Amino acid sequence: MLQFNRQSVLLDMQAISKESALEEMAEIVVNNYHYLDSTNLYSILLEREQIGSTGVGNGVAIPHGKVEGLKEIIFCFGRSLQGVSFEAIDNRPVYLFALLLSPTNIASEYLQALAHVSTVLKQHTNRIKLLRSSSAQEIVTIFTPPPKKQ
């Protein structure tokens, strides 16, 4: 369901504003998926933020959008140690950024991925683990769903 690896994790974001956080997340994507354009991704993310903040509270933001020409669902994770003012619904800084991008034509899979990421981030123990993780692999493990029982 989620294509996610260590190269898609940024443990120490430098962003100090909502805009710079979105730019930094877009750069992670472009570094891993070279056929994408960071300016276009940034525009898509900014347009989504104008509808309403993706800062969902409890130090979490889930910026997301649909991208024309994308081949698969992309998930990237960023952590800000200092926190970013992100106009979150609880007006608190955001430390954990879960970026989800989807092709325009796979709504069902996209919603499943969004639900999975949201479920992981709703759990207080997972948010603590994500804040304390010392490696990208630990973060990948937290978001990797357990294997389905046969």
Q: In CATH, which of 3.40.33.10, 3.40.930.10, 2.60.40.180, 2.50.20.10 is domain 6-142? A: 3.40.930.10
Alpha helices, DSSP H, located in the chain: 18-32, 38-51, 107-122, 124-132, 136-143
Confidence of residue 150 (pLDDT cuts 50, 70, 90): low
The fraction of the chain above a pLDDT of 90, given in percent, is 76
The string over 1-15, giving b where at least 16 C-beta atoms fall within 10 Å of a residue's C-beta and e elsewhere, is: ebebeeebbbbebeb
pLDDT for 2: 62
Tens digits of residue pLDDT in 82-138? 999 999 999 999 999 999 999 998 888 999 999 999 999 999 999 999 999 999 999
pTM of the model: 0.93
Answer yes or no: are the C-beta atoms of 7 and 33 closer than 8 Å.
no
Residues annotated as catalytic are 64
